[in-house]
Structures are given as C-alpha cells and as structure tokens.
Amino acid sequence: MDASILLIGGDDFLSTLLDRVHNLLNCAVEVASNPGEAVPLIQAQQPDLIILEENQLGSLKLCCEIKEQAKLAWIYCILIETPAQVLDEPWLDYIWDLESKTIALEGGADAYLRLPLERTDGKPLSPEILAKQDQLLRSQILVGLRTVKNHRELMRTNDILSAIALSDPLTELNNRRALDWELPRQIQNARTRSEVLSLVMLDVDYFKRINDLYGHPVGDRALQLVSSRLRHNLRFRDTLFRYGGEEFVIILSNTDQKEALLVARRLCRLIGEQPFDIDSGLELNITISAGTATLDAKDDARGSSLLKRADRNLLRAKSSGRNRVVGSIDALQDMDSE
C-alpha cells in the first residue's frame, strides 16, 4: 500500500504498535518518541496518518495544532490508549471509554481507540481478543487512509479546475482572471521588498483586418504564434497574460521604467522583424504596439491604476502610428511639450 504512517509514543507503545502495524499493513512507518520530536517530521514529510499514544504529554495538543494548519489539516490522527488492564466493572470501563473518546474527538483527533494490554486478573489477553483488536486497528487505519486519499484526489481536481479557470484555452497563457490574482500579489511583494515593478500592455496592430481578410481561424492561429514568440523571448522573471482579444499584459518584476521600455521595444522588434508562417501558403507580417507603466507609491494595491497608465500609454502608441512603444517617461515628455 502506497501510504505513510508516523507512530508517536514511548518505547513500550512503539514496540507494541510498530509490530502490529507492520503485520497488518504494508506501509512505510516512521517513529518519534514524543510530540516535540514529531513536529519537524510532520512538517517535512507530511505523513498520511499519525498514530499517537494517548497518555503521553502533548499528544492531543499536537492533534489540535495539526488541524489548525490548512496545509496539514488533512492528516488523519488516531489517538490510542493502551491501559495495562480493563477496569473491574464493565460499565465503568464503557463510561471511561466514552468519556475518553469524547475528549479526544473534541480535542482534534480523528479517531480514538482503547486497546487494553491484559485482562483484569493480569493474565494476557486471549488470541481471539488480540485478533479482534488488530481487526479494529486495521479497519481504523484503512478508514483514515481512505479519507486522506479522497482529500488528495479532491485537491488534485481543484488544482486542475483552478488551472483551467486561470488559463486561456487558445494561447495556453495565463488569462485575465489570473492577472487579477497575480498582480496584487506581485505589488505586495515589490513593496515589502522595496523593489520596482513595471507592466507592459501590448496589442496586435490591425488585428481586425486579419480576421476580416482571412477569417477567424487564421486570426486565432496568428494569436497563438504571437503568444509563442512573446513567451519564448521573455526573461525568466517576467509573467505573460492574455488580457483579452488581441491584448496582452506582461508583469516585469524588479524592473524600472527604463528597463521596461527596453524590454517592450525588444519585443516589438522581435514580433515585427520576421513574418509569421500561418500555414504552407500564407505568411503574415504582424506588428504590435505597447505601453509601459511603473509602480509608484500612489498606485492602489490591486494594480488598477497601474494598468490604466499602461493602457493609456498603449493608446498613445497606437494613435501615434502603431508598431511602437510609449512608456511613462515618453508620456511625461509628451505632456511637457503640450
């Protein structure tokens, strides 16, 4: 079975449970002598299931702490009590079991088992009773592993759905929804680290003419090829998004105004200098226009004002002849000359 289990307890508990678990299931089993020793193992290895000795100090607290951490809360915690004997009166033993189970479950454990080691008279438990205990232990472990498996499958499904929701199906780039999520995060990082941040907003020139002359399938193919050329000519730290239609946005981390202009002009040249081979009988010469903007202290945390400045500069580039870049520096110079 492809699963991992961590046993936490004293020497007697570990020696007893380790053999029993190995005999019941073919799993990878790690051990820790106390909750403090277990914490770094849990953080690093994230086992599927944890079995803790109930009467060890800190066991229930560890269960609670695991459940309070989103990245660990899926780990299944079984608290096991191994009293030396059952109580003299069966009804007292039953009440004790109910009270202990209630405390364990309310305290953060997913399951509680009480597995006495011997009879009231001090004699060993019969093989039949031990076999029933092992059946119960195995069943509880399997319940935990099924729960963890279902959680992981759900997380994988959510990851796939999130990837689909944040991806543009035509170009396979991040889409506008992804930009709405990523830009505020990068703005916060830039301000926390006192770094610069810039945007490039670009647009395929006369794209409507391509659709009108050759049809939408050719337009779609042109967008795919433009996207690919842009993606393969960006720096490692740059993030490209399809903003909508024939518009794209690039987040340039740790990039100031002058560097943003250089990046955008280089991309402009790379798009315009070589025709795009749409199919064996059609080549298109395509150019782009771009506007850049750099984060300043007055920009809002979501990046709306930063995007607006980049868009405004893109419109200036298009109105001044297309196939060119206008940045914040250029826009300021234009305003001064006016």
Contact present, 112 and 100 (Cβ < 8 Å): yes
Q: Is 199 helix (H, G, I), strand (E, B) or coil?
A: strand
What is the CATH number that goes with domain 4-163?
Answer: 3.40.50.2300
Inform me whether the pLDDT recorded for 122 exceeds 70: no
Spot the catalytic one: 54, 81, 246, 259.
Answer: 246
Number of helices followed by number of strands (H, E) in the chain: 11, 12
- What is the overall mean pLDDT for the chain? 88
Specify the range with the lowest mean pLDDT, choosing from 139-143, 162-166, 208-212. 162-166
- Per-residue pLDDT at 338: 37
Contact present, 301 and 295 (Cβ < 8 Å): no
Within the chain, all domains assigned CATH 3.30.70.270 are found at 176-337
Give percent of the chain with pLDDT exceeding 70.
Answer: 91
d(CA 41, CA 44): 5
32-46 pLDDT, tens digit each: 999 999 999 999 999
Inform me whether the pLDDT recorded for 155 exceeds 70: yes
Q: Which CATH architecture has domain 176-337?
A: 2-Layer Sandwich (3.30)
Contact present, 276 and 222 (Cβ < 8 Å): yes
- Per-residue pLDDT at 336: 39
By 3-state DSSP, what share of the chain in percent is helix, strand and coil, each rounded to 5? 50, 20, 30
Inform me whether the pLDDT recorded for 48 exceeds 80: yes
285-296 pLDDT, tens digit each: 999 999 999 999
- Per-residue pLDDT at 335: 37
Q: Concatenate the DSSP letters of all residues of 29-83 into one string.
A: EEEESSHHHHHHHHHHH--SEEEEETTSTTHHHHHHHHHTSTTTTTSEEEEEE--
Amino acid letter, 76: Y
- Per-residue pLDDT at 126: 82
Residue of 214, 285, 194, 291 lying closest to 247 (CA atoms): 291
Task: Confirm whether 118 is a catalytic residue.
Answer: no
- Per-residue pLDDT at 93: 61
Higher pLDDT, 223 or 160: 223
Instruction: Tell me if the pTM is above 0.85.
Output: no
- Per-residue pLDDT at 330: 55
Within the chain, all domains assigned CATH 3.40.50.2300 are found at 4-163
Inform me whether the pLDDT recorded for 29 exceeds 60: yes
